[in-house]
Structure formats: C-alpha cells, structure tokens
Chains A and B, each alone.
Chain A
Amino acid sequence: MITRRKLLMLLPAAAFAWEYVLAGTPETAPGFNRNEHWWGMLMDITKCIGCGNCVRACATENHVPDGYFRTWVERYHVADWHQETPQVDSPGGGKNGFPPSTAVGGKNFFVPKLCNHCVDSPCTQVCPVGATFHTPDGVVLVDDKYCLGCRYCIQACPYGCRFLNPTSHTAEKCSLCYHRITKGLTTACCENCPTGARQLVDLKNPADPIHEFLKTHSVQVLKPHLATGAKVFYNELDGSVR
C-alpha cells in the first residue's frame, strides 16, 4: 500500500526518471558529422579589393538589419612611420564599397572582419544562460530562443563582432553560415568574394589547402595577445591593424 510517506519518497525518483524520458533520442543531421570538422577562415589581405560583396552577401543570406554587420570591411591608411596611429574608415561597413580616399601616399589596404570563432571565446564565457556556445565543429553560435538580451557578450567580445538585433532584442553575430556549411556549401561571404580573399577552411580536413598555406605564409590572427584562440587567419596582416 502506498502511504503518504512512501509517495513523498517516490517523487524525487519520479522527477529524475522523467528528465530522461523528456531527453528523448539525440537529433542527427544526415550526411554531416559535426565531429569531423573544425571551421575557420583565411583572409588574404593581399587580395582584398574592398568591393563589399561579402558584406552585401552576408546581409542578404542572414537577414542582417540595415546599419548592423556580421562582417564588414575596414580601409587602413598608415602614413609613413605612423604605425601606431593608422587612419581607419569603414563607411557603411564597406557594404557599398569605398569612396575615393583623401589620403595621399603611405600604406593603404583593406581588412575584412567578422567573428573570429575563438576557441577560448570571451563571449561564451560570460553568457549567464548558455545562449551562446561552441558547436562541436568549432563555430560560436547564438541560440536566439534562449538569449535574454543582457548584452554581456557584446561587451565581452574584444573584436566588436556582436550586436543586439533591434527587432528580436537578442544578441546576434556571424554564424559562419552554419546553415550553409552543414549542407556542404561555403559561407555566403566566401561564395561571393570575387578575388578569393576570404576562404572557409576546415582545420580537421587534412586535404584542406589551409595546412600548406599556414606553413608557407606569414599568417597572423587579430589581437593574439588576448589568447582567445581566434580561428580567422590573416595573410600579410600589417602590424597596424587593431
């Protein structure tokens, strides 16, 4: 016979079991094994022409609101020896290209930027609810259904890659086109880069040309002193870039 006491003792056990009932079977994406990839990106500064194709493609593919950017392009002007004080402009994130510069001489180049999909990302460390996370294949994503919009991650990102979506009021950032790369496509920005300045790389794929490239080129990540484990690699990155 079930007494009141017995019932009370059974309840915690029932709750524990119920959790496992709810968990169900794990979901699987057909034809794609997350554990076989480790995504990053290669940016070749020597090839970027500042056309803004990547910014437009990203906005279209990911419905990025006007005036906000998941990727953007900066134009650097370093006058003679002023290595520590470069002049940087990025009108409209470079979405519509760059107007003629007033700068004369010096060193001039474009730097495309996006989320670095850091291995030890400061943004995921500060999220109080687990709404931003690392996927098993090395992409930092935001769960917009779980995000509170507290903005901690936006402040934590040292690269300024996050913003608060003005409509949903949740944090938003580059998803490395997770909906594309899991379908065997490249990201929208890489697909639309006319010079091949941006390339999606899979560091776990031994056949990926990135391995040879890293061995033979002068490659750097942004803000390496922060030890964020950034996975966007820049070829021929000038020391003036912040």
Chain B
Amino acid sequence: MRVNRFKDAEHLLRLAGAFAVGIALFLLLRAYFVPKSFGEYGHYRGAALAEQSDKPISYAGHQACEDCHGDVLEVKKAGKHAGVNCEACHGPLARHAEDPASVVPVLPDTAVLCARCHEANIGKPKTFPQVVSADHSGGAVCKTCHQPHSPLLQPGAKQS
C-alpha cells in the first residue's frame, strides 16, 4: 500500500514555499540594487576606480611642456630654477598642451609671482634665498634684473 508521506506535512511545505519566495525576492532585489562591480576588488564599487582614473587633468606635467619648449628647458637646467616645474609659475596648461594654437598662456607678473616664494618669512628654511621686496628692489619688477628661467644675476646685468 502506498503511504502518502506528505499527508501531514502540508503546513511545513507551505512554510518552506513562503521561505523560498522570500529568499528569491531577496536575491532578486539584491541583484538589482547592488552595483554590478561591487566586490570586484573589495567591499566597494570596482567601477569607481575607472571613474576616478578617467577624470580630466588640468596640469599637463613638465614632460609635456618640455616636448615643445626644449630651448627654455636648456636655460632652466643651467640655472637655479632647474628643479622648478613649468606650471609651478605658468599655471595649469593642459588645455594649452592639447591645443597650443588657440589656448595661449598668460605671461605671469614677476612682481607677484616671485614674491610668493622669495618674500622673507620666518618659517622658511634659512638657506632658502629670501628678500624683503620693498628693501630689495624698491618696487621694481623682478625681471628688470633677474631672468626668471635662470635667476642668478649675470656679470654686467643691470643692477640698482
């Protein structure tokens, strides 16, 4: 005689069914709401890495400048400003590097520019060349005497 094993277990099966539906719903919602790259590298959205990397740059970097302006590089390399990168003074020029013809950089005003680094301040290392610009030049623009790319005064240069 065939015994119906599930005869008295119908309520359990219904419960199991309810659980199955619940779990399925959870997995579906999870698949829908969790970003697909989440967990790719760790407990975060992996696609965020590529999104960060893809952001555009503002500063082209000195290699890009030197590709075209090798003449300036030669002058700079011989002088005290050899370690100062181009955009430290000339500003962000990635647009200029992309399109040199239509994006033309503005020449910095040496009266403002030089003082940013060389104005005397108590916090600056003692070995760093510093001046009190009012005493040093009496208001004259720095490039009257100094060539910014190689700032040490040359013999015979105009001196006040």
Contact flag A50-B123 (CB < 8 Å), given A12-B20, A145-B48: yes
Q: How many residues of B contact A (CB 8 A)?
A: 54
Is the CB of B77 closer than 8 A to any CB of chain A?
no
Measured in the bound complex, the distance between the Cα atoms of B43 and A11 in whole Å is 26
Closest A residue to B63 by CB, please name it: A185
Measured in the bound complex, the distance between the Cα atoms of B43 and A136 in whole Å is 12
Measured in the bound complex, the distance between the Cα atoms of B117 and A11 in whole Å is 68
Measured in the bound complex, the distance between the Cα atoms of B121 and A77 in whole Å is 12
Question: Among the listed stretches B31-39, B67-75, B99-107, which one makes contact with chain A, having 4 or more residues with CB under 8 Å of it?
Answer: B31-39
**Cross-chain contact B122 with A108 (CB below 8 angstroms):** yes
Is the CB of A39 closer than 8 A to any CB of chain B?
no
Contact flag A34-B49 (CB < 8 Å), given A133-B42, A191-B85: yes
Name the B residues within 8 Å of A136 (CB-CB).
41
**Cross-chain contact B54 with A179 (CB below 8 angstroms):** yes
Choose one: A110, A132, A175; the contact of B123 (CB below 8 Å): A110
**Cross-chain contact B43 with A178 (CB below 8 angstroms):** no
Choose one: B24, B87, B128; the contact of A12 (CB below 8 Å): B24
Name the B residues within 8 Å of A194 (CB-CB).
81, 83-85, 88-89, 117
List CB contacts (< 8 Å) of A176-198 with chain B. Answer: 178-180, 182-183, 185-186, 188, 191-196
Question: Among the listed stretches A53-61, A158-166, A218-226, which one makes contact with chain B, having 4 or more residues with CB under 8 Å of it?
Answer: A53-61
Please give the residue numbers on chain A whose beta carbons come within 8 Å of chain B beta carbons, in ascending order.
5, 8-9, 11-12, 15-16, 18-19, 22-24, 26-27, 29, 32, 34, 46-53, 57, 60-61, 75-77, 97-98, 100-101, 103, 108-110, 130-136, 141, 143, 145-146, 175, 178-180, 182-183, 185-186, 188, 191-196
Contact flag A180-B52 (CB < 8 Å), given A12-B23, A12-B24: no
Bitwise interface map of B from 19 to 34 toward A, beta carbon under 8 Å scored 1, else 0: 0110110011011000
Name the B residues within 8 Å of A15 (CB-CB).
24, 27-28, 30-31
Closest A residue to B43 by CB, please name it: A130
Name the A residues within 8 Å of B57 (CB-CB).
61, 179-180, 183, 185
Choose one: A12, A53, A191; the contact of B61 (CB below 8 Å): A191
Is the CB of B124 closer than 8 A to any CB of chain A?
yes
List CB contacts (< 8 Å) of B102-140 with chain A. Answer: 116-117, 119-125, 128
Measured in the bound complex, the distance between the Cα atoms of B121 and A103 in whole Å is 11
Name the A residues within 8 Å of B122 (CB-CB).
77, 100-101, 103, 108
Could you pull out 23 A-B pairs where Cβ atoms are within 8 angstroms? A5-B17, A9-B20, A11-B28, A23-B40, A26-B40, A27-B49, A47-B125, A49-B117, A50-B121, A50-B123, A60-B92, A77-B123, A101-B121, A101-B122, A110-B123, A130-B43, A141-B48, A143-B45, A143-B51, A175-B52, A182-B52, A194-B88, A194-B117
**Cross-chain contact B61 with A22 (CB below 8 angstroms):** no
Measured in the bound complex, the distance between the Cα atoms of B61 and A195 in whole Å is 16
**Cross-chain contact A191 with B123 (CB below 8 angstroms):** no
Measured in the bound complex, the distance between the Cα atoms of B21 and A49 in whole Å is 66
Name the B residues within 8 Å of A145 (CB-CB).
45, 48, 51
